Amino acid sequence: MTSRSDNNLIVEPVARLIEEFGKLPGIGPKTASRLTFFLLRAEEEQSRALAEAIQAMREQVTLCTRCFNITVGEICPVCASPTRDQTKICVVEEPLDVLAIERTGAYRGLYHVLHGHIAPLEGTYREDLKIDELLARVRGEPVDEVILATNPNTEGEATAFLLLKDLAPLGVRVTRLSRGLPTGGDLEWADPDTLGSALEGRREL
Amino acid sequence: MTSRSDNNLIVEPVARLIEEFGKLPGIGPKTASRLTFFLLRAEEEQSRALAEAIQAMREQVTLCTRCFNITVGEICPVCASPTRDQTKICVVEEPLDVLAIERTGAYRGLYHVLHGHIAPLEGTYREDLKIDELLARVRGEPVDEVILATNPNTEGEATAFLLLKDLAPLGVRVTRLSRGLPTGGDLEWADPDTLGSALEGRREL
């Protein structure tokens, strides 16, 4: 919707908002322009609420000092809960992964959010992740199992491998989420890697 | 990404921003969640710039008191320009339409933005549009042609028809953008309406 030649046609505050929306992932210039003109026509209240929500989030949301999941305050609700199993730590890459696992209802232990994965080509190294913090927890808390739930892709596997090396000397049980066919999937359409993992991980019935 | 059951998992400021993003057109819950978590990880500066751009736009942008295009201040740059042809007014539905026409470089007259089209089913009536303001301009300014550039769809046509009825008694020339095959289009793929318009509007070579 906007191009260099529009610079003198679109007034500065509008052009600026189009530009800021356009910096968000998956928002191209057309969508940025559409969102801007939508807010221009919407009730003033809606713009205000959006702007305030953005600022409030950045001001209020912090990382849990124990598991590094996002929270408000010092400790996240999972870490603060007396009913969670204190002997298990599930290690994930991102806060959204915690949500995904919580949604299964199948896990009652604690979490540890790494905030990324090892990816030297993207400039993410070991020291950028909350790995030392994890090791300190394993040493200091009554943990008997660390579940590595990094993503089942190259970076996630590399990160899990590195963690395994670090955790092995601590004498804790280290497990990894199983790989196999997705529920509801079709064997015919499974990619060879997934089908290979499903064969390798087959279980006695 | 978010569902009712996430209410106790996502901290309030994050949930609130996801909700506010989700109110924007074309932004579903998944995209809203993605944008929120992006801002959570991005530099604080980026959130601040976005929030400020939203507020600045709503505070600074006004409608030109003459043509009702969006602007900063009283009068928009087109209306303020001494080089624009003061005898022509191009009537459009939305501010974005002004941009589209300016981009052609083929028009040097003035504009009038209606801010919508007649659509009783959507609750938009004659009095919701800047029609009386247009008639006042035609009466008071040295206008000799009004170009109806409302959209070439049902609502745009209905709006143009209504404007024609209102403008006819004022003795001004009223024109409408021509309809026909789009440049670069393929006759074989043209819809019957467009092809019909192209036949009807055929010109002597």
Q: Answer yes or no: are the C-beta atoms of A120 and A148 closer than 8 Å.
A: no
Q: Do A6 and B46 touch (CB under 8 A)?
A: no
Q: What pLDDT is attached to residue B16?
A: 93
Burial class from Cβ neighbours inside 10 Å (0-12, 13-18, 19+) for residue A21 reads: buried
B8-30 average pLDDT score: 89
Q: How many CB atoms lie within 10 A of CB A158?
A: 15
| Residue indicated by tokens 């819950």 | B29
Determine which helix (DSSP H) or strand (DSSP E) holds B85, and give its type and residue range.
strand B85-92
**Calpha distance B14→B2 (Å, rounded):** 11
* Closest in A24, A55, A95 to B35, CB measured: A24
Q: What pLDDT is attached to residue B5?
A: 46
Q: Per mean pLDDT, which range of A42-51, A67-76, A179-188, B160-169 is the poorest? A: A179-188
Q: What pLDDT is attached to residue A111?
A: 96
Classified as helix, coil or strand, A49 is: helix
B178-200 average pLDDT score: 81
A104-132 average pLDDT score: 92
For the stretch B85-141, pLDDT in tens is 999 999 999 988 898 888 888 899 999 999 999 998 888 899 999 999 999 999 999
Q: Do A103 and B40 touch (CB under 8 A)?
A: no
Give A47 to chain B, closest Cα distance, Å.
6
**Calpha distance B117→B128 (Å, rounded):** 9
Q: Do A98 and B9 touch (CB under 8 A)?
A: yes
**Calpha distance A37→B61 (Å, rounded):** 11
Q: What pLDDT is attached to residue B164?
A: 95
Say how many residues make up chain B. Answer: 205
- How would you classify the pairing of strands A70-72 and A61-63? antiparallel
Q: Do B77 and A40 touch (CB under 8 A)?
A: no
Q: Which of the two residues, A202 and A115, has the higher pLDDT score?
A: A115
| Residue indicated by tokens 């993605």 | B34
Q: Per mean pLDDT, which range of B37-51, B54-68, B85-99, B180-194 is the poorest? A: B180-194
Which domains occur in chain B, in start order? Answer: 4-60 (1.10.8.420), 63-204 (3.40.1360.10)
Q: Answer yes or no: are the C-beta atoms of B176 and B147 closer than 8 Å.
A: yes
**Calpha distance B150→B118 (Å, rounded):** 10
Greatest C-alpha distance within chain A? 71
Q: Answer yes or no: are the C-beta atoms of A25 and B34 closer than 8 Å.
A: yes
For the stretch A3-33, pLDDT in tens is 444 556 778 899 999 999 999 999 998 899 8
Q: Which of A8, A58, A59 to mutate to test the interface with B (most CBs of B within 10 A)?
A: A58
Residue A181: what residue type?
L
Q: Least CA distance to A73: which residue of chain B?
A: B11
Q: Which of A166, A168, A192 is nearest to A179 (CA)?
A: A192
**Calpha distance B201→B205 (Å, rounded):** 13
